[in-house]
Amino acid sequence: MKESRWLTGGRVYIQIANRLRERIAAGEYPAGSTLPSEAELCAEFGVARNTARRGLSVLEDEGLIVTIPSKGRVVSGAQAAPYRYQAIAGDLRQQITTGALAPGAAVPSESELRQLYDASRNTVRQALAVLEREGLVVAEHGRGRFVRR
């Protein structure tokens, strides 16, 4: 039976969530891909923007999708880090856990990290702040950042 394009009945937002969930499971929206905008979903399903938003909220609560500012709603997955600073922090975290950056070793400077990752100063600082909050890196005033012993 072909599914109807328009949705009717009660709890339409649940039907939207179910349809999008099916599409994600079928690979129509693979991990890291962007879902259609709220406006596009409204046009496709013939619903109000708030109804489409509620359907997307259900998927977000389940962890199937994440909202990324200036990008939209993206299918969750290990392949794509939502933010550049998270990818940088993940790479540095891996270097620390594998021993490439040994305990007590100096972490590359902000300038070196900016060049290495082709990222802004703020992006690099956000990545380093994540590692500091996790207790993997310590900052010593006037000396730099080091891998925690």
CATH number at residue 46: 1.10.10.10
Q: Is residue 132 part of a domain?
A: yes
Q: Rounded to 10 degrees, what is the CA torsion of 97, 98, 102, 108?
A: -80
The last residue of one of the domains, among 27, 45, 75, is 75
What residue numbers bound the domain in which 50 lies? 12-75
Cα separation, 89 vs 72, whole angstroms: 22
| Number of domains forming the structure of the chain | 2
Question: pLDDT 10s per residue in the chain (149 long)?
Answer: 345 455 555 688 999 999 999 998 888 998 888 999 999 999 999 999 999 999 999 998 888 898 888 888 998 875 555 578 888 988 999 999 999 999 999 999 999 999 999 999 999 999 999 899 889 999 999 999 999 98
Name the β-bridge partners of 67: 73
Structural domain contains residue 3: no
Tell whether 109 is covered by a domain: yes
**Measured torsion, CA atoms of residues 120, 90, 126, 57, in degrees rounded to the nearest 10:** 110
End position of a domain, from candidates 75, 95, 127: 75
Q: Are residues 108 and 53 in the same domain?
A: no
